[in-house]
Amino acid sequence: MGMLLLYWTIVILCIAAYKLGFAQKLPLIKSIVVYGVLLLGCTILSFLGTVIPIAEGLFVIVLVLLIYRIRRHREKKVGAGVQQ
């Protein structure tokens, strides 16, 4: 049960990190392939996560990418307001 919880935590955090930092608009088939490979990679990461802090590192990565995304959005909004 604990390993399954770790796996799904890592999957959710990897998907969030991918969406916040790297995702581009892809056709449906390519998106399915990307997420399939992501799920396979998360299997390896979950085994490593029993020894080293993978989930905690992914959490920090998601926080940093989220802060970056929010700041970039605010700067873009302020920049658009100045140009008008």
Residues making up the chain, counted from first to last: 84
Q: Is residue 57 part of a domain?
A: yes
State the pLDDT at residue 32: 96
Q: Is residue 47 part of a domain?
A: no
Q: Is residue 48 part of a domain?
A: no
State the pLDDT at residue 80: 75
Q: CB atoms < 10 A from the CB of 14, how many?
A: 21
Give tens-digit pLDDT for 19-37. Answer: 999 889 999 999 999 999 9
Give tens-digit pLDDT for 47-70. Answer: 999 999 999 999 999 999 999 999
Look at residue 82 and tell me whether its pLDDT is greater than 90: no
Q: Which residue has the tokens 């990418």?
A: 65
Do the Cβ atoms of 14 and 39 come closer than 8 Å?
A: no
Number of domains in the chain: 1
State the pLDDT at residue 79: 79
d(CA 62, CA 46): 17
DSSP 50: T
pTM for the whole structure = 0.85
User: Which residues constitute the domain of residue 63?
Assistant: 53-78
d(CA 56, CA 68): 19
